[in-house]
Structure 1
Amino acid sequence: MEYWMTDNNHTVNSNGSNLAIGFTSSIVSVVLFGSNFVPVKKFDTGDGNITVVPIVKTIGLGLGLLIWASTNLLTGWASSRFGLFGINPEEVERPYLNYAGAGLSALSAIIFLFVKTEVKTDTSESETTPILRNSINSQEHTITDESWVDKLSPLQRRIIGSVMAVVAGVLYGSCFIPVLYIKDHSKNNESIYAGSSQFDVDYVFAHFSGIFLTSTVYFLIYCAVMKNHPKVYPEAILPGFISGTLWAIANCCWFLANNYLSAVVSFPIITTGPGLVAALWGVLVFKEIRGIRNYLLLILAFCIVLPGSLLTAFSKT
């Protein structure tokens, strides 16, 4: 009996430690994901990398992150909860709380769509001078500092930015599926993944390597399309490294949260939380969101998404 009590206490303490690590990792991830674009916000980043920079330029940091975070949530949560794309469905102690939390988070995404933003496009001359300029045959290869985003009307910006945010959210929400797939199939001796690690952080290097390779391919394609005249701005290089470092730390914390909480719990928390942080940056610092109507919509959305995250967290405990 004494042994059983000792073993049971050890199990309770172990579960408590796992939850503490998981929720702490989630908080760090939320803060850094919501702030990692701040270092590059005031610098001209040219055409950007696929979707993120154009989204920030078209609909702003706050609204952009709120939209893609919400679609990120739905994609990641649904794939984990229902076992999509060949991964095993994840169970929670209180599924009704989990469903309610995900539903509230999804509802907040709809409200965020009605928030209007004001994105400033004016930058100083020193911030918009490309680092790569062709000094030879300049008449043949004229470089304009104007991005394709600058040519869009306000309505076009809002539509394109929102659509790109939704697409980005779906892709973000799918990025952990290969890791979950390998972990689930590692228990099958007949699978090529038999015996693979069950610790999520062990897959960080492969995850980051895939991102680096993909970004390199995208950049090479961009250089080819631009006829070897990419828009690279010197003032954005160091802030870009800082932004990437913040993102990398946040992503590592997300891996930890997935490991100790499971993806079905971590996704609603980590995907909606950064939107709140980014919205605060957009309201308090960058003044992208103004007006009583927009403030009320944000407050309403926050009052919905916060209980949603809490319900999701309680569904695990």
Structure 2
Amino acid sequence: MTHLAYGIAANVVAVLLYGSNYVPVKRIETGDGMFFQWVNCAAIWVVSMVGDLMLQSPKFYPFAMLGGVIWATGNLAVVPIVKAIGLGLGILIWGSSSLLMGWASSRFGWFGIVAEDVSRPILNFCGAGLCLLSGLIFFFVKTDVELHPDSDSMPLLIDRVSTLTQQCDSGDLKSIHHAVLQSDSCPFISGCLLAVVSGLLYGSSFAPILYIKSHSSCHDSMFHGASVYDLDYVYAQCSGIFVASTVYFTIYCAAMNNRPRVYSRAILPGLLSGLMWALATYCWFLANNYLSAFVTFPIISAGLANCFMFFMATCVILIGSLLTAISTL
């Protein structure tokens, strides 16, 4: 019971940090997001280096970096998603798709991972289903995302009401009508689809670590004798994140003829966002040692959206999370 309490406590901290790590940058101009994602990933890597030193530098497995590459690929779409459908709905959609991918891969043994069993499978399925339901509830929530004619020069999130009020005061009624008509157009659909793809990448990004752990007891595996302590792999994961983001940013600079769109005001918020994400990941990996990945994934993924949910969805997700956790007792 003590391990269950520690695991849930670590999950709660991870949910709070994951759900709010983009808040510091929501009013900051980020442009196309490429510079922001590189700063964000650099902060993640620095935090992981400190954590690696505190853990006395456990053995480094380059294969775990693959998960970081997958995560960084999904992270490229964060800024376009938020500008298209908003932060709340964006986290909601990619959290739901991440939930399905992460929970299913651990529960059913996808990608070469050893499938994990629970003593109460019905509760586990019900818990994961309710966590997903909490996300589906908010597909009916209408988002108000203002489309700006120059999307590269606007903050990540802007106040639609104040913007329309200013337009009304200036007598620009055509601009208001145009913004309202465009709110349900193709950018919204593409933003939703992009969020689903991003969530699937997020959900599969931890598969390499789970693969290493599940094959640590196989004598004929190259990972025989590998650590089963999740925190030992955070540095490798974050190294993959930083390497991939640097490669993507280099390609971006080349495509822009060495004239990347750099926004200096996004540096400190980007560093803070990366710090929060890295700390959340350490808390989550710590929770995995007390619980299992297929238990923590529904709590984490649905918990991201929970930061933006109303009372109804909050009740549903809490019930689902408790059922998922109790299923291991």
Given the two structures, how large is their TM-score scaled by the length of structure 1? 0.77
**Correspondence for 1:252:** 282
Contact 2:148 2:154 in 1 (8 A): no
AA paired with 2:14? S
* CA deviation after TM superposition for structure 1 residue 21, in Å: 2.0
CA distance in 2, matches of 1:106, 1:35: 20
> Rg larger in 1 or in 2?
1
Give the one of 313, 320, 323 matched to 1:311.
Answer: 323
Moved more, 87-96 or 205-214: 87-96
CA distance in 1, matches of 2:147, 2:26: 11
Change (3 A) 1:128 1:63: closer
Given the two structures, how large is their TM-score scaled by the length of structure 2? 0.75
Contact 1:67 1:112 in 2 (8 A): no
**Correspondence for 1:23:** 8
Contact 2:135 2:302 in 1 (8 A): no
Deviations 1:173-208 (A, max 9, x none): 111110110011110111100000010000000000
Contact 1:76 1:173 in 2 (8 A): yes
Give the one of 117, 125, 136 matched to 2:143.
Answer: 117
Give the one of 213, 217, 223 matched to 1:183.
Answer: 213
CA distance in 2, matches of 1:271, 1:302: 13
**Correspondence for 1:59:** 85
Please say if 1:223 is aligned against 2:253: yes
Moved more, 160-169 or 304-313: 304-313
Report percent identity of matched pairs. Answer: 57
Give the one of 18, 33, 51 matched to 1:48.
Answer: 33
- 1:72-151 paired onto structure 2 within 5 Å: 72-120=98-146
| Structure 2 SS opposite 1:116 | coil
CA distance in 2, matches of 1:77, 1:128: 36
AA paired with 2:236? A
Deviations 1:126-183 (A, max 9, x none): x869xxxxxxxxxxxxxxxxxxxx9x94322211111111011101111111011001
CA distance in 2, matches of 1:20, 1:118: 39
Contact 1:128 1:233 in 2 (8 A): no
**Correspondence for 1:209:** 239
| Structure 2 SS opposite 1:313 | helix
Contact 2:94 2:195 in 1 (8 A): yes
Contact 1:98 1:311 in 2 (8 A): yes
CA distance in 1, matches of 2:311, 2:85: 19
* CA deviation after TM superposition for structure 1 residue 269, in Å: 0.4
Over aligned residues, Cα RMSD in angstroms? 2.1
AA paired with 1:37? Y
* CA deviation after TM superposition for structure 1 residue 121, in Å: 5.9
Deviations 1:213-266 (A, max 9, x none): 111111111112222221111111100000000000001111111221010100
CA distance in 1, matches of 2:81, 2:318: 24
Moved more, 26-35 or 42-51: 42-51
* CA deviation after TM superposition for structure 1 residue 122, in Å: 6.7
